[in-house]
Amino acid sequence: MINKVVQVLTFGLIFMCSAQAAIDVYEFEDEQLRARYQTFVEEMRCPKCQNQNLAGSDSLIATDLRRELHRLLQEGKTDDEVVAFMVERYGDFILYKPRMQRSTLLLWLAPIGLLLLGAIIVILIARGSSRKTVALSDEERARLDALIHDSNQEK
């Protein structure tokens, strides 16, 4: 009986804790500011969660970053100022779309290079397969027929 009571209490506590999870609710002066905030939290990566945006992360640092984004937008910071602030503190990793700069040049140019390499390979293969076949002489054809005939008899 006591085991059942403990199980029920444990089960209830587990679900009560998840029901108490906080949801960030921020007030904005207008819908344009809310839209900018939503864009930022969807396009910025959580430093702790690796491949999750700020909107989908429940980590403490993501909560702090959402609060910081709200504060910056309320202060009237431009998009470039907000991005510069975040990159200065967390590096380019925080951006899902890294900026074009010297350290990310390979990241931006690799797809173009691979596409060109693939096109060159396709062209070379197409040229190789379009080579004309050389006709066999009568002597070569007779020898080939003899080889084929011999191999068929061995089977």
Structure tokens at 10: 């444990």
**What are the C-alpha distances in Å from 147 to residues 18, 137, 139, 142?**
79, 15, 13, 9
Domain segments of the chain: what residues? 2-99, 103-154
pLDDT of residue 57: 85
Tell me if 44 sits within 8 A of 92, measured CB to CB: no
CA 92 to centroid of chain Cα atoms: 15
> How far is residue 123's CA from residue 149's CA, in Å, rounded to a whole number?
38
Q: Which CATH superfamily is domain 2-99 in?
A: Cytochrome C biogenesis protein (1.10.8.640)
pLDDT of residue 107: 78
CA angle, residues 109, 110, 116, in degrees to nearest 5: 95
pLDDT of residue 95: 84
- Its pTM surpasses 0.75: no
pLDDT of residue 71: 92
Q: Write phi, then psi, for 98 (nearest 5 degrees).
A: -65, 150
Count the helices and strands in the chain (H runs, E runs): 6, 0
- Tell me the three state secondary structure of residue 44: strand
Tell me if 94 sits within 8 A of 87, measured CB to CB: yes
Predicted confidence pLDDT, tens digits, the chain (155 residues): 676 666 666 666 665 544 444 456 778 788 898 999 999 898 898 888 878 888 888 889 888 999 999 999 999 899 999 999 998 988 888 887 777 778 778 878 889 999 999 999 999 888 876 666 778 888 988 998 888 888 888 76
pLDDT of residue 46: 87
56 torsion bin: left (phi>0), alpha (psi -120 to 50), beta (else): alpha
pLDDT of residue 53: 86
pLDDT of residue 113: 92
